[in-house]
Amino acid sequence: MKKDVLNAVRAKCLDCCMGQANEVKLCTITDCSLYPFRFGKDPNGNGRTMSDEQKAKMAEGNRKYWEKKKASASEDSLRGE
């Protein structure tokens, strides 16, 4: 339901800006009640909470990703790419 509301806000902002996404980004009507939600996201956070276990798992995944990316870059530089 929340996502439907945010999508509706985004659609209204696009309508107000003649369908131009960049104009939504550049909007200067800060007193509009929809202004904080114009990107189709909740500015107060997504409401998702993660357990300590989930946070640790995500951190480990990020660490592995960056190690792999760094190793790949080193291999490319050794090959002269």
pLDDT, one tens digit for every residue, the chain (81 residues)? 578 888 999 999 999 999 999 999 999 999 999 999 888 888 877 666 778 898 899 999 999 999 998 888 777 776 766
Question: What's the pLDDT at 12?
Answer: 94
Annotated domain spans of the chain: 1-42, 50-81
This prediction has a pTM of 0.51
Question: What's the pLDDT at 30?
Answer: 92
Question: What's the pLDDT at 28?
Answer: 94
Q: Which long-range contacts (CB under 8 A, 24 or more apart) does 5-10 make?
A: 6/37, 6/40, 6/41, 6/42, 7/40, 9/34, 9/37, 9/38, 9/40, 10/37, 10/38, 10/39, 10/40
